């Protein structure tokens, strides 16, 4: 991380496809849990270096499963990538462990902001640097950089994480991941259960991290409107398949996306009921 | 005056025994915190460790060489346990894991007796079991040199473990793993390494405890039941609290000796065998999370 380079952020060229130099390439993966439950059926996606890519979809679509396949956390849940391949930074990840992935520069921030509740906020952050060997002063510096992005965490540094608010826990989880100085973050539903203004605050920080630290981000979200506002490109996942993809702007303006993921409709609300082929989403807006 | 001296004598003896309970209970806490496993095999590990130590000495290996050899053996046993018993059972329920450690206890007990035989051995650490002369001369309190040395050794181990927990990087990793396996894994903390470390440490704790108790009571199968002494300590201190079990160990040690001396006569003696359990039951009724046991943080 480098605060010095925070000055003028250049306006980036809009992404028109997810080609470009990929830091992550997921090719046609199939994932099976417990040897029988087929959850992903041929998912492919690319994350170009330095971009924010959104993975959208409703409950049970397979977003978390996709992220866990990428971070190799899947194995500990008795899941297995049975077909296809995942390449991170030019290396296949089949034989790697979560520990290797963090060492290679990828950290997953899991769904439900899993902080260490009995550790203080600062201890949570320090634990995030577990894979690095830092001197006392380097650790101080790394913490200060996280506090620079998350000033709220500085105020709460000595509180037990379990007693902080939902937003603060989400910030702790993201800040903790940043302590490993990752090249790429996998964020699983950072907006979950948070008030809109907290969601906005967190997404602004995520965008900052992306632009100033150059961290590539793959973002799984049900909150389509927020995700598309901050992402460059999006994929829509339904029942374990990518059903649509495109630049974030184009997706946000797409008629079907508007209707079924953003809860807006030009023809009026009635149209949902006539389209049984789309499952209703629990949370749209 | 004589009454007070006698009281102090009993109290000190109790506290010194109590440090030993703390030590054994810490072996449990370490494993329970890191992997949510109630290690039923802790007592078997004590027996296996000290019997192996005595066995090595009988083979002609001198004391100071047998000690590191046994430490290495216990580290190996700890790592093998993690590898062969716990890793295949990852994600299983706590009950399943408890059953696995019960199995492990039988394996260790059987293996120890198969390797070294079943007869009771003597272990001479060269520490005399006589009253400390200067203390007796100056104050009139009789406390065994052996008890003091044992208490000090146990105290050093307890302090070292407490520091390992609270001050080191590995300790933080351990507390993180204890808090949530998946979250710890997601930030790259190698669970297997932490588990191996925890089991190896428990093995070393078992060896130290076994040597101190074995020297006093003989190296014999009954050491297996020593671990039962840790149960009331764990209940009073809380299964996940390092300071809790340290203090609980002292409470159990002191209270059982005091109870034996002052209340025992009314019950015909022998109450130190069960008084800690009575205390534990009282705690279960009024403070089920233990002295400092962490209440579950439920806020999400
Ligand atoms: N460990 C598991 N074992 C068996 N099935 C699982 C497991 N984890 C997830 N599944 C199933 O896989 C499917 C996809 O789940 P996943 O958690 O990836 O969805 P999601 O898109 O993240 O949903 P949500 O938005 O609710 O988090 C679901 O049907 C779920 O029941
Ligand atoms: Mg999910």
- The residues spanned by each domain of chain B are 2-222
Is residue B23's pLDDT more than 80? Answer: yes
Is residue A8's pLDDT more than 50? Answer: no
CA distances from B275 to A120, A132, B15, B253 (A): 38, 49, 15, 10
Is A116 close to B180, i.e. CB distance below 8 A? yes
What confidence category does residue B300 fall into, taking pLDDT thresholds of 50, 70 and 90?
very low
For position A49, which CATH number holds? 3.40.50.300
Cα separation, B113 vs B213, in Å, equals: 18
Tens-digit pLDDT profile for residues B137-149: 888 788 888 888 8
Is residue B1's pLDDT more than 90? Answer: no
Comparing CB atoms, the residue among B90, B186, B297 nearest residue A110 is B186
Average of pLDDT values for A69-87?
Answer: 93
Question: Is B30 strand, coil or helix?
Answer: helix
Comparing CB atoms, the residue among B172, B183, B300 nearest residue A110 is B183
Cα separation, B224 vs B112, in Å, equals: 12
> What's the whole-number average pLDDT of chain A?
87
* Segments forming the whole domain that contains residue A261: 11-105+224-265
**ipTM, two decimals:** 0.83
For residue A157 the two structure tokens come to 């540094």
**Model pLDDT, residue A277:** 43
Q: What is the DSSP letter of A160?
A: B
Q: Which of A16-25, B40-49, B223-232 has the lowest mean pLDDT?
A: A16-25
Average of pLDDT values for A21-46?
Answer: 93
Is residue A17's pLDDT more than 70? Answer: no
Cα separation, A150 vs A172, in Å, equals: 9
Average of pLDDT values for B231-256?
Answer: 88
Tens-digit pLDDT profile for residues B172-214: 999 999 888 899 999 999 988 888 888 888 899 899 988 988 8
Is residue B298's pLDDT more than 70? Answer: no
Please indicate whether residue A166, judged by its CB atom, sits closer than 6 Å to ligand 1. Answer: no
**Model pLDDT, residue A116:** 94
Comparing CB atoms, the residue among A78, A98, A103 nearest residue B91 is A78
Query: Do A188 and A111 form a contact (C-beta atoms < 8 A)?
Result: yes
Burial code (b: 16+ CB inside 10 Å, e: under 16) for B67-102 equals beebbebbbebbbebbeebbeeeeeeeeeebeebbe
Is A76 close to B90, i.e. CB distance below 8 A? yes
For residue A266 the two structure tokens come to 């030009």
Is B187 close to A119, i.e. CB distance below 8 A? no
Burial of A224 (0-12, 13-18, 19+ CB in 10 A): buried
What confidence category does residue A252 fall into, taking pLDDT thresholds of 50, 70 and 90?
confident
Angle formed by the axes of helices B145-167 and B191-217, nearest 10°: 170
Q: Which of A40-44, A52-56, B93-97 has the lowest mean pLDDT?
A: B93-97
Tens-digit pLDDT profile for residues B112-171: 889 888 888 888 888 888 888 888 888 878 888 888 888 888 889 888 988 888 889 999
Average of pLDDT values for A122-134?
Answer: 95
Please indicate whether residue A222, judged by its CB atom, sits closer than 6 Å to ligand 1. Answer: yes
Cα separation, B168 vs B80, in Å, equals: 25
Average of pLDDT values for B49-76?
Answer: 92
Q: Which of A43-52, A210-219, B181-190, B229-238 has the lowest mean pLDDT?
A: B229-238
Residue A42 inside a domain? The answer is yes
Please indicate whether residue A77, judged by its CB atom, sits closer than 6 Å to ligand 1. Answer: yes
Is B176 close to A119, i.e. CB distance below 8 A? yes
Cα separation, A26 vs A230, in Å, equals: 22
Give the pTM: 0.82
Is residue A3's pLDDT more than 60? Answer: no
**Domain count of the fold of chain A:** 1
What confidence category does residue A280 fall into, taking pLDDT thresholds of 50, 70 and 90?
very low
Among B176, B88, B186, which Cα is nearest to A78's? B88
Hey, which residues 31-90 in chain B have their CB within 8 Å of chain A?
A: 90
Best of A64, A72, A73, A98 to disrupt the B interface (most B CBs within 10 Å) is: A98
What confidence category does residue A5 fall into, taking pLDDT thresholds of 50, 70 and 90?
very low
**Model pLDDT, residue A271:** 40
Q: What is the DSSP letter of A14?
A: P
Among B98, B35, B16, B30, which Cα is nearest to B241's? B30
Residues listed for chain B:
300
Residue A159 inside a domain? The answer is no
Is residue B225's pLDDT more than 90? Answer: no
């Amino acid at each position: 991380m480098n605060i010095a380079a925070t000055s003028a952020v250049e306006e980036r060229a809009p992404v028109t496809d997810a080609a470009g130099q990929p830091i992550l390439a997921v090719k046609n993966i199939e994932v099976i849990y417990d040897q029988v439950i087929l959850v992903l059926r041929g998912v492919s996606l690319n994350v170009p270096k330095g971009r924010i890519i959104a993975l959208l979809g409703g409950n049970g679509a397979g977003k978390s499963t996709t992220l866990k396949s990428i971070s190799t956390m899947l194995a500990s849940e008795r899941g297995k990538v049975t077909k296809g391949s995942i390449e991170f930074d030019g290396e296949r990840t089949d034989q790697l462990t979560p520990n290797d992935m963090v060492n290679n520069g990828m950290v997953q921030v899991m769904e439900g902001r899993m902080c260490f509740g009995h550790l203080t906020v600062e201890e949570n952050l320090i634990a995030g640097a577990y894979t690095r060997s830092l001197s006392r002063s380097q650790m101080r510096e790394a913490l200060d950089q996280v506090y620079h992005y998350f000033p709220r965490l500085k105020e709460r540094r000595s509180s037990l994480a379990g007693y902080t608010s939902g937003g603060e826990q989400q910030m702790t989880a993201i800040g903790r991941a940043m302590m490993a100085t990752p090249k790429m973050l996998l964020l699983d539903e950072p907006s979950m259960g948070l008030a809109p203004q907290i969601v906005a605050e967190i997404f602004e920080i995520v965008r900052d991290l992306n632009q100033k630290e150059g961290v590539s981000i793959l973002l799984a979200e049900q909150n389509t409107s927020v995700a598309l506002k901050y992402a460059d490109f999006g994929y829509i996942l339904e029942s374990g398949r990518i059903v649509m993809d495109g630049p974030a702007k184009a997706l946000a303006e797409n008629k079907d996306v508007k209707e079924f993921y953003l809860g807006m409709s030009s023809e009026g609300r009635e149209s949902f009921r006539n389209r049984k082929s789309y499952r209703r989403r629990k949370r749209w807006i | 005056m004589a009454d007070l001296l006698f009281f102090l004598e009993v109290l000190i003896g109790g506290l010194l025994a109590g440090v030993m309970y703390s030590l054994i209970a810490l072996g449990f806490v370490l494993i329970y915190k890191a992997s949510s496993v109630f290690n039923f095999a802790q007592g078997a590990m004590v027996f296996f460790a000290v019997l192996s130590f005595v066995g090595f000495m009988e083979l002609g290996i001198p004391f100071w060489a047998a000690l590191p050899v046994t430490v290495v053996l216990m580290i190996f046993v700890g790592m093998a346990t993690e590898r062969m018993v716990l890793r295949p059972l990852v994600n299983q329920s706590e009950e399943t894991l408890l059953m696995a450690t019960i199995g492990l206890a039988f394996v260790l007990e059987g293996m120890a007796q198969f390797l070294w035989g079943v007869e009771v051995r003597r272990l001479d650490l060269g520490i005399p079991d006589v009253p400390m002369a200067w203390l007796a001369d100056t104050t009139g309190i009789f406390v065994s040199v052996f008890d003091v040395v044992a208490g000090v050794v146990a105290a050093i181990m307890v302090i070292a473990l407490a520091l390992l927990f609270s001050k080191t990087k590995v300790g933080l990793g351990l507390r993180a793993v204890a808090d949530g396996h998946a979250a710890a894994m997601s930030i790259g903390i190698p669970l297997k390494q932490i588990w191996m470390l925890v089991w190896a440490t428990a093995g070393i704790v078992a060896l130290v405890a076994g040597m101190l108790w074995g020297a006093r009571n003989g190296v014999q199968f009954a050491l297996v039941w020593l671990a039962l002494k840790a149960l009331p300590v764990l209940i009073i201190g809380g299964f996940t609290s390092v300071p809790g079990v340290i203090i609980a160990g002292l409470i159990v040690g002191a209270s059982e000796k005091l109870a034996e001396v002052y209340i025992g006569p009314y019950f015909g003696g022998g109450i130190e065998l069960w008084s800690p359990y009575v205390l534990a039951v009282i705690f279960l009724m009024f403070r089920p999370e233990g002295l400092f046991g962490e209440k579950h943080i439920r806020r999400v």
